[in-house]
A and B are shown apart, each in its own frame.
Chain A
Amino acid sequence: MAKEYSFYPGCSSQKGGSASNLMASVDTMCEELDIKLNEIPDWNCCSASIGYAGGGELPRLTLSARNIALSEQHNPDQDIVATCAACWLATREAKERLGESEETMQDANTALAEANLKLENNTPTKHMVEVLMEDIGMDAVKAKVKKPLSGLKIAGYVGCQTNRPFGIQGESFENPVYLDNMIEAVGAEPIRDYDKKVSCCGGALAFSEPEKAYELIQGIIESAVDAGADMIVTPCPVCQMNVEVYQDQINARQGTKFDMPVVYYSQLMAVAFGRSAKDAALDGQVIKAKQLEEIAAK
């Protein structure tokens, strides 16, 4: 029987969105692992981590409260699952903050009533990575591997918001190992001591303070190059985009010659599970992951 979850895809995962390749590969991965994602009807943006200038605490919490309320109404008794680090963080944060203060909870419900909604606030929010590690397990992932990604050396870049402030159960903030374990499960070699595993890519400030963020991004790529990585893998849409798409700009400014593919864990799994390059959304890479394309074509 398929495991069912109430799914919160988030803005960047929509059709034509910057993480539409994450969405397509997650769909493939879930098909293989018998995970059924029931999208929350009419979900809205969580306002991510940069919404704070325009939105105060209550308006921001209310945005997430609306998603949880819709989930409780339409997908009762299903845990919410998010694939985006910011979506997951904001939703989980809102549940926690509203649970801690009766006054804020009451205010949120007063605001929600304007949209004819009511929040019970008893639905846990999980990251897709938690579903894989805790509900599915790496043994089940290994059992699905048809084309091990042998010979590939991969730097697991966990980044910030999948790791802090909540993180994944049983993992440390400074050196989480789940991503390395996933890389190993699909038959590739993880660079376990990757120096920039939990470093920041600049997040949304890559837009407003590009030069400062490019410096962080350069370090993240450099350290992967130094460790002999063939590619970087990440669970986070912002990490993926920041580390992949600014390589041209960094090369032009710094005289580097970066050409480092940055893929999602779900793309590794889709290829290892024997699915096509298209099902793995490899066509969504700005810097082509040629080695993965070759394995998929075998």
Chain B
Amino acid sequence: MARRGRPPFLDRRRYRRTRLRDAACLLPVLGAALLLVPLLWPASGQGTPPSNAGALLYLFGVWAGPILAAGILSRLLRSGGQPEDAPEDGL
């Protein structure tokens, strides 16, 4: 989000950190999209729904994936520290 007083170009490190924040914001959206995939599955008796084990593995898989990504992102965001010079973006 463009803001007053922001330089148009950031150095590489700060640019990276800004993109990390973007990734942190996008992660729940991605997770939600993956978790809503079951809405496309046909109900039992109206086609061929995925097998019980398949459905279970899929859901735990799309649950664990974002958790792993969140772990990595939070570590990266923390090691970058809170930038004192730039106001933190709420979004």
Whether chains A and B associate is no
Query: Which positions in A face B, CB cutoff 8 Å?
Result: none
- Chain B contact residues, CB within 8 Å of chain A: none
